[in-house]
Chains A and B, each alone.
Chain A
Amino acid sequence: AQTVTQSQPEMSVQEAETVTLSCTYDTSESNYYLFWYKQPPSRQMILVIRQEAYKQQNATENRFSVNFQKAAKSFSLKISDSQLGDTAMYFCAFMKLRPYDKVIFGPGTSLSVIP
């Protein structure tokens, strides 16, 4: 069975600084997708970034980038130039492709951006 671990329940960062959120997962699958979702206090689930396991290049979306280490089963999220609006819960998620697109979520990391 797949599992997703986020070892940092809470983190904080100064505004404009860079922070990295950790995520590890366990799977025997060779092809899968990984995601980071953001949940602000409004409680919406917002997709931040996605990574296909067959792609070696790390995904980037503006200030958000990932460090995907497939052999180590690690998928960390780096937020550059942190902004107050980045304050949220962040969930790492694994999506298995077959037999269906089952998504496994990690427990989340609560990030606070300090002015």
Chain B
Amino acid sequence: DADVTQTPRNRITKTGKRIMLECSQTKGHDRMYWYRQDPGLGLRLIYYSFDVKDINKGEISDGYSVSRQAQAKFSLSLESAIPNQTALYFCAIGTGNNQPQHFGDGTRLSIL
């Protein structure tokens, strides 16, 4: 099994719909992150969580919310999707011990 699993892999939806992207991990790491990737901009941090009760906004959190349901699960929600949220979304995990983050395979989200 993959260390970090993201579902769905691809999603096409319409403006105004509520969308949830899910992330689960098998490594037992405390830290989980959500990033969005756009062409020419690299990856930008949306939200991060250091444990179930510790959730923090990243640099582009507007229009997004998250839930850390358990140590291993971290979901990202778009309450009312808009076309400029079309992007590739990555979940990542980390140890906080100066180790590189480890990424899932991404969810490509298209909002029409």
Contacts and interface: CB of A to CB of B under 8 A. Distances in A.
Interface in A59-115: 91, 95, 97, 100-103, 105-108
Contacts, number: 48
B88 interface: yes
Contact residues of B: prevailing secondary structure: strand
B90 interface: yes
Contact residues of A: prevailing secondary structure: loop
B84 interface: no
Contact of A105 (B31, B43, B88, B105): B43
A97 B94 CA distance: 12
B42 A106 contact: yes
Interface residues of B, number: 23
Nearest to A108: B42
Interface string B75-112: 00000000000001010101010101111011010000
Nearest to B48: A100
